[in-house]
Structure 1
Amino acid sequence: MTGRGTIMLSYALTGVMNALWGATLPATDARLALGPGLLGWLLMALAAGALVAMPVAGRLAERWTGRRLLRVSAPAAAIGLAGPALADGAGTLMISAVVLGMLFGVLNVALSLQAAAVERALARPVMATVHGTWTLGAVAGGAVVTAALRAGADVRLLMAAGALVLAFALAAVRGVPDPPSRPAAQVVPHGPSAPPRPGLMIMLGVVGAAAFVTEGAATDWAGVHATRVLGADPATGSLVYTVFFVAMTLVRFAGDALRTRLGVVTTIRLCGVTASAGYGLVLAAGLLPSGIGVGCAMAGWALAGAGMAVVWPIVTSLLGAADGAARRLSTVTTISYGGGLVGPALIGYVASAGTLPLALAIPAALALLVATAAPPLLNAVSRTAPSTPSKQPAHTTS
């Protein structure tokens, strides 16, 4: 299997892993009677573990290489799902969430590093397609979870068995080859030819964080919103999660061609507007009768998924195009994923103090921020250094 095929398979399997966590949250909430407040603390525990581990992961990748880090972290993260599955109370669930967050944090950095390395070696945009395989895995995993819950499966058994199967599958995947280091201008003609300045690099992370907060709101709160606010059953709550990722998957597989045709700035602006419209429908759903409200919310989450589909792939691609350095990528990943992990926990806090619809105004505002503030920023990042002639035909990105 080629390096592109291997990284795509790794992303697909980790998408299934994400579904085993996100799509089972409504059932876990019902099993342990957590409520919005404890769910918020649970997500904060996950975030804390990830934020501690991500900067360390960049240093480990420089010492071990990204390939070795991915081969170790992927099956370990799958096994980590057994902790929440077997938790018998809120306390043990919180502890297991911290451990799982650390494992997820290392895995996310390893995946980003290897995806950037593959794109640099191919000298063309593939990042959205690679992330599309992740969402395809998330859709498949969400569909399996929904079907299993509708059939009456115990959520604990479902998560534990899924964790074991995924661990074996990820351990069997051959590592992605580490491409030889070459000047960025010679291998990736569609991005900056030098690393972004520290300020721009941090702002890249902020854009990624805004995207991940909106995505994390769907992963962790779409199902809960459907069950607790709109009156849907837990299986329908899992279906809302699946609808979000179906839309995201479709757009990601078209994302590389869309980016090449429209350019980075127009693509990001279109993404933000679409996601903002989606969150508008989600917020309006609570004002409608139950049956109509669920349908309106599903349409809104679908638009939100379509809108946020390529924001993070573009951010990763622009940074990886420079030199793909492990510490730089891990820094931006930490900021971005950190926002995505802390954001849903903040939503839980606001929901417990007020209402969940009020809390969902946070990702709605961030989607609007992506539409307005991100385009000029990404345009500046893509022009941080003069381009160097290349033997490859150039791709227009802005």
Structure 2
Amino acid sequence: MFKDLYLARGPLAAFVAEGLAWGSFAALVPALKPQAGLSDAALGTALLVAAVMAFGAMWAAPHMDRLLRNWTMPILLGVMVAGFLLASTAAGWGIFALAMALAAIGAGSTDVAMNARISVLEAAHGRPLMNMAHGIFSLSYAIAAISGGLAREAGLSPLQVYLLIGAVILGLVLVMLAAPVSDSDAEPGTRGGAPLRWGFLLPVGAIVLIGFMAEQATEGWSALHLERTHGAGAAEGALGPAILGLTMAVGRFSGQALAHRLDEAAVLRWAAGLAALGALVAAWGPGLGYGYAGFAMLGLGVSVVAPMAFAWAGRMTASGSKALAISRVAVLGYAGFFIGPPIMGFLSQGYGLSISFTAMAVGLGLIPLVLVGIVARRG
């Protein structure tokens, strides 16, 4: 594990940076929402605008990577931090939507770049790294969610929290620049070798989409669900996303070992089933403890969905096209990362958060029942 951590330290620094930024956001949503004067639907609409803006940026990320090379992740993370800083001071829907668009553009494009680099390292060294990388994100997310909740209890403003997060990310940028990953696909003027197999990559992208949709929707709305439905305080509400992040970290580090022993199809079937059950428990459990238990089950299950799908795509794609294939799967999949919270907002406005989490459970059920079989046949 220490060898793997050192080997992937450059892109892993980007995973840590994103975990810190989004974990803090999850804990600060209950403060950011009234500060900007947003209803549930208005918050969902702002996040939907951010998702639309980010989608084009993610599709163009491989081209930006060929142009910026080692500066890709530092520059894009700078855009993300600027967006969150602006969101932490936003006092209206327009400014908040613009801020979240900047954060989503920077974060989404960085996701494409860092996952592509992890895939390149896996192919070059013959070691599974994807679950570990996403586990690092989850651990960082959990730490930031807990710290964000405690910061709210202590009276710190969202701006003060994100100024601290920005200083930490600046240090992580230095790690990225000191440990660049050589990727021939990202060299200026070069193109991938073999054509992409869209019949295989599209259902893989759908798996990632559903996994990230459930993950990000829970990250963004779990604290509100616990506070609104069960009367939890700020720190108790922050435990929702914190528990999700911690159990996702446990699941992903465990997935690092499972990747040596089980095939992707088996892991995805069991993991998605557990996540769907956890979403139902969180949605309809009669007390705060049931909410915590449901989010823990959801975190353990959904933790390995995206990493295993990314690893599956990389393993089944010819050398010379791995980075581009991972990028396209990421573009398809990370749409779920951004459309999950808006869907939750719209459903919550009309039917309540319990129905919102039930919809997430239905989506997760499609992975073992439909999508895994399609990917296995086409792979």
Give the structure 2 partner of residue 14 of structure 1. Answer: 18
- Distance (Å, rounded) in 1 between the aligned partners of 2:36 and 2:229: 19
Give the structure 2 partner of residue 170 of structure 1. Answer: 172
Q: Is the 8 A contact 1:43 1:341 kept in 2?
A: yes
Q: Residue 352 in 1 paired to residue 349 in 2? A: yes
- Give the TM-score normalised by structure 2: 0.89
Q: Residue 307 in 1 paired to residue 301 in 2? A: yes
Q: Is the 8 A contact 1:75 1:170 kept in 2?
A: no
Give the structure 1 partner of residue 152 of structure 2. Answer: 149
Query: Where do residues 1-398 of structure 1 align in structure 2 (5 Å cutoff)?
Result: 2-65=6-69, 67-159=70-162, 161-175=163-177, 176-179=179-182, 197-285=197-285, 288=286, 293-321=287-315, 322=317, 323=319, 324-381=321-378, 384=379
**1:174-196 C-alpha deviation (Å, 9 max, x unpaired):** 334334659xxxxxxxxxxx776
- Distance (Å, rounded) in 2 between the aligned partners of 1:351 and 1:145: 24
- Distance (Å, rounded) in 2 between the aligned partners of 1:42 and 1:238: 22
Q: Is the 8 A contact 1:80 1:163 kept in 2?
A: no
- Distance (Å, rounded) in 2 between the aligned partners of 1:8 and 1:63: 21
Question: Relative to structure 2, which stretch is displaced further, 338-347 or 126-135?
Answer: 338-347
- Distance (Å, rounded) in 1 between the aligned partners of 2:182 and 2:312: 18
- Distance (Å, rounded) in 1 between the aligned partners of 2:67 and 2:172: 22
AA partner of residue 295 (structure 1): G
Q: Is the 8 A contact 1:80 1:100 kept in 2?
A: yes
Q: Is the 8 A contact 1:243 1:298 kept in 2?
A: yes
**1:294-325 C-alpha deviation (Å, 9 max, x unpaired):** 11011101100100111111121122232354
Q: Is the 8 A contact 2:87 2:99 kept in 1?
A: yes
Secondary structure of 1:262's partner? coil
Post-superposition shift, 1:33?
4.1
Post-superposition shift, 1:90?
2.1
Q: 1:70 to 1:140 in 2, by over 3 A?
A: same
- Distance (Å, rounded) in 1 between the aligned partners of 2:260 and 2:361: 27
- Distance (Å, rounded) in 2 between the aligned partners of 1:373 and 1:125: 26
- Distance (Å, rounded) in 1 between the aligned partners of 2:354 and 2:303: 23
Q: Which runs of 4+ in 1 moved over 6 A?
A: none
AA partner of residue 219 (structure 2): T
AA partner of residue 366 (structure 1): G
- Distance (Å, rounded) in 2 between the aligned partners of 1:169 and 1:179: 21
Secondary structure of 1:72's partner? helix
- Distance (Å, rounded) in 1 between the aligned partners of 2:180 and 2:253: 23
Question: Relative to structure 2, which stretch is displaced further, 44-53 or 56-65?
Answer: 56-65
Question: Relative to structure 2, which stretch is displaced further, 18-27 or 127-136?
Answer: 18-27
Q: 1:33 to 1:230 in 2, by over 3 A?
A: farther
Q: Is the 8 A contact 2:272 2:301 kept in 1?
A: yes
Give the structure 1 partner of residue 188 of structure 2. Answer: none
Q: Which runs of 5+ in 2 are unaligned?
A: 186-193
Post-superposition shift, 1:6?
2.6
- Distance (Å, rounded) in 2 between the aligned partners of 1:373 and 1:46: 30
- Distance (Å, rounded) in 2 between the aligned partners of 1:20 and 1:303: 22
Computed over aligned residues only, the root mean square deviation of the Cα atoms, in angstroms, reads 2.2
AA partner of residue 28 (structure 2): T
Post-superposition shift, 1:14?
1.9
AA partner of residue 273 (structure 1): G
Q: Is the 8 A contact 1:15 1:138 kept in 2?
A: yes
AA partner of residue 344 (structure 1): P
Aligned-pair identity in percent equals 23
- Distance (Å, rounded) in 1 between the aligned partners of 2:131 and 2:290: 27
Post-superposition shift, 1:2?
4.1
Secondary structure of 2:88's partner? helix
Count matched residues: 364
- Distance (Å, rounded) in 1 between the aligned partners of 2:155 and 2:184: 52
- Distance (Å, rounded) in 1 between the aligned partners of 2:183 and 2:331: 25
AA partner of residue 125 (structure 1): P
Q: Is the 8 A contact 2:129 2:256 kept in 1?
A: yes
Post-superposition shift, 1:370?
1.7
Secondary structure of 1:51's partner? helix
- Distance (Å, rounded) in 2 between the aligned partners of 1:268 and 1:174: 31
- Distance (Å, rounded) in 2 between the aligned partners of 1:355 and 1:234: 20
Post-superposition shift, 1:98?
1.4
Post-superposition shift, 1:83?
0.9
- Distance (Å, rounded) in 2 between the aligned partners of 1:179 and 1:259: 25
Post-superposition shift, 1:326?
4.0
**1:126-170 C-alpha deviation (Å, 9 max, x unpaired):** 1101111111111111121111112222233222x1343134223
Post-superposition shift, 1:4?
1.4
Q: 1:109 to 1:246 in 2, by over 3 A?
A: same
Post-superposition shift, 1:353?
2.0
